[in-house]
Amino acid sequence: MSAQKPKKKKRQYKSAETRARQLAGLANVKIENHVMGVQMEKINGKGLFASISEDQRKQILELYSQGHSSHYIADKVGTSHNTVCEVKSYFLDYDSQFREAYFTANLKSKMQTIIDTASDRVIDLLPEMNAKDSVLTLGIVLDKYIAVEKAKAPEQLHNHIHLHGNAEIDDLFSNAQKKK
């Protein structure tokens, strides 16, 4: 009699994701770091942000949108710095409104730094400037100041009011009732 080798059972996976997770695990890779939309689950099953409440998450996003630093936000909300950074990175990837607000606040902060640095430099150079440069600098500064002040003022609304007397309303109603 010849010895037959037993056939290997073909492994069945519940889903393609299960197979992908197994292969990724064999290569020491976390799928969550490479595939958009896959959320990491913590042991308690509440998801990536199980350690913070919905209100804390909203507060973190609001403070980032206002331009605050992550260390300030962590102190203010009462969570760890890593948690605050995780919330920011997650919502930068998945929430376009937060991403726009965050980048706008960041841009404003950077622009303010540039303005402060440049104005300090101009103030340092003022005593050494000749008359022409001083007048040009003054003109530019005044133009910018006026633009900033105009931006602060509320827009004036212009309303039109149309009044009709009873006789005019009766005529309009009668004309609308007539067949053409």
Residue 150: pLDDT band by 50, 70, 90 thresholds? Answer: confident
Domain locations along the chain: 17-48, 52-152
- Asked if pLDDT for residue 92 goes beyond 60, the answer is yes
Residue 59: predicted pLDDT? 92
DSSP-based three-state secondary structure for 26: helix
Kindly report the pTM of this predicted structure.
Answer: 0.45
What's the rounded Cα separation, in Å, for the pair 68 and 63? 6
| DSSP, residue by residue, 23-46 | HHHHTT--GGGTSTT-----TTSS
pLDDT in tens, 21-75: 777 766 666 666 666 555 555 444 455 666 788 888 899 999 998 888 889 999 9
Instruction: List the single range of 40-54, 99-113, 129-143 with lowest mean pLDDT.
Output: 40-54
- Asked if pLDDT for residue 172 goes beyond 50, the answer is yes
Residue 72: predicted pLDDT? 92
Q: What is the mean pLDDT of the chain?
A: 77
- Asked if pLDDT for residue 180 goes beyond 80, the answer is no
Side chain identity, residue 56: Q
- Asked if pLDDT for residue 10 goes beyond 70, the answer is no
Range 52-152: architecture per CATH: Orthogonal Bundle (1.10)
Residue 63: predicted pLDDT? 92
Residue 132: pLDDT band by 50, 70, 90 thresholds? Answer: confident
Average pLDDT over residues 82-99: 87
Rounded to a whole number of angstroms, the distance between the first and last alpha carbons of the chain is 105
Residue 120: predicted pLDDT? 84
Average pLDDT over residues 156-171: 67
